[in-house]
């Protein structure tokens, strides 16, 4: 079952073509990684799905309806959660923001809302920090709180924009482990630069640079050269493969890419 359907979508921003004729289906329980160069249109695509931008050409369907109608089914974790850290706000209040827009009590927060928010914090392992000031947390902890905020509304799809861009390596791994766990019950779409990490966890990958090329990488273990202990994929290889636009059958391009990469390795030696 596809949860997000995008058909022939194009988007221009002040006369610049940002996205050109994009088609993409995201299926239930997918872990989709969206990669590509800066300015390639990754964040723009997310914002189109989230109804923050509107396009005149092409269609986006979320659970079969226009994005605006099903926004509550999408949880969103924005980029740059490290801005505004001086803001006097408690962790629990940030998470409760996930509820804004639904029915609220006249003032303050309802008991059910608070227990729901605490539940979301427990899901990301941050329940002990509910009364802390957001600025006192580390980057990784803050990112977990933002994920909890997105989970607060019980979404069916979780969309994250560069969730680990300002987090140390250990923190990044923890975030992805958490996403893997959440992926058991919800669909996950992640925009990221951390190619090697994301491909360890994702089962689908979309490379966007104005146009989109899509790859099913769920059986990646069998396909790619891996380094020791099968943990780390060769990034050069992956980038070249995923970036090639006419890759309809990945296998053929991989063999040629890996040959050229092997050649380069020899050159380096």
Partner 1 sequence: MIEALSFEFIQHALIAGVLVSFTAGIIGSLIVVNRMVFLAGGIAHASYGGIGLAVFFGFPIFFGASLFAVVAALFVAYITLHKRHRIDTFIGLIWAVGMAIGVIFIDLTPGYNVDMMSYLFGSILAASTEDLYFMTALLSIILFVITFWYRDILAVSYDSEYAALRGVNVKFFYTLILILTALTVVVSIKVVGLILVIAMLTIPIYIAEKLSSSLFSMMFLSGFIAMFFTISGLWFSYTYNLTSGASIILVSAFSLGVFLLLYKNR
The residue ranges that bind partner 1 (CB under 8 A) are 50-52, 71, 76, 78, 84, 86-90, 93-94, 96-101, 104, 106-107, 109, 131-133, 149, 153
For residue 247, report the phi and psi dihedrals to the nearest 5 degrees: -80, 90
Scanning the chain, the segments in alpha helix (DSSP H) are: 42-49, 91-96, 111-123, 139-151, 169-182, 195-201, 220-223, 235-243, 250-268
**Would you say 89 or 178 has its CB closer to partner 1?**
89
Instruction: Please enumerate in sequence order all residues whose Cβ is within 8 A of that of 65, keeping only pairs 6 or more positions apart, or say none.
Output: none
Q: Helices 169-182 and 139-151, interaxial angle, to 10°?
A: 20
Contact, 160 vs 77, CB < 8 A?
Answer: yes
CB of 112 to partner 1, least distance (A): 15
Task: Report the alpha-carbon distance of residue 75 to residue 22 in Å, rounded.
Answer: 22
Min CB(44)–partner 1 separation in Å? 14
CB of 122 to partner 1, least distance (A): 21
Smallest gap from Cβ 82 to partner 1, in A, equals 12
How near is the Cβ of 87 to partner 1 at its closest, in Å?
Answer: 6
Least distance to partner 1, CB of residue 86, Å: 7
Tell me how many helices (H) and strands (E) the chain has: 9, 9
**Cα–Cα dist 34/198, whole Å:** 9
Q: Give whichever of 56 and 103 is closer to partner 1, judged by the CB atom.
A: 103
By beta-carbon proximity to partner 1, the closer residue of 41 and 78 is 78
Nearer to partner 1, 189 or 212 (CB): 189
Contact 178, 150 (CB under 8 A): no
- Least gap, CB of 49 to partner 1 (angstroms): 11
Rounded to whole angstroms, the Cα distance separating 207 from 240 reads 10
To the nearest 5 percent, what fractions of the chain are helix, strand and coil?
40, 25, 35
Which CB atom, from 35 or from 153, has the smaller least distance to partner 1? 153
CB of 102 vs partner 1, minimal distance in Å: 8
Of 102 and 170, which has the nearer Cβ to partner 1? Answer: 102
Residue 146 or 241: the one with the smaller Cβ distance to partner 1 is: 146
Q: How many CB atoms lie within 10 A of CB 164?
A: 24
By C-alpha distance, which of 19, 35, 4 is closest to 243? Answer: 35
Q: Measured from the CB atom, is 86 or 219 closer to partner 1?
A: 86
């Amino acid at each position: 079952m596809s949860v997000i359907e995008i058909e022939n979508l194009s988007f221009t921003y002040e006369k610049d073509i940002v996205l050109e004729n994009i088609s993409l289906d995201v299926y239930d329980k997918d872990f989709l990684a969206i990669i590509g160069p800066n300015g390639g249109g990754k964040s723009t695509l997310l914002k189109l799905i989230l109804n923050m931008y509107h396009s005149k050409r092409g269609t986006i369907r979320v659970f079969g309806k226009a994005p605006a109608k099903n926004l509550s089914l999408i949880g969103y974790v924005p980029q740059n959660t490290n801005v505004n850290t001086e803001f006097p706000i408690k962790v629990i209040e940030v998470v409760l923001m996930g509820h804004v827009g639904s029915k609220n009590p006249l003032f303050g927060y309802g008991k059910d809302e608070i227990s729901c928010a605490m539940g979301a914090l427990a899901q990301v392992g941050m329940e002990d920090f509910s009364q802390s000031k957001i600025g006192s947390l580390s980057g990784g902890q803050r990112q977990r709180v933002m994920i909890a905020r997105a989970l607060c509304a019980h979404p069916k799809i979780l969309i994250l924009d560069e969730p680990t861009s300002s987090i140390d390596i250990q923190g990044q791994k923890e975030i992805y482990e958490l996403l893997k766990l959440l992926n058991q019950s919800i669909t996950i779409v992640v925009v990221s630069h951390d190619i090697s990490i994301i491909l360890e966890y994702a089962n689908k990958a979309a490379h966007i640079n104005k146009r989109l090329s899509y790859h099913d990488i769920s059986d990646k273990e069998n396909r790619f050269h891996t380094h020791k202990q099968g943990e780390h994929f060769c990034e050069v290889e992956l980038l070249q493969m995923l970036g090639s636009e006419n890759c309809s059958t990945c296998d053929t391009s991989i063999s040629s890419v890996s040959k050229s990469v092997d050649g380069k390795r020899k050159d380096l030696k």
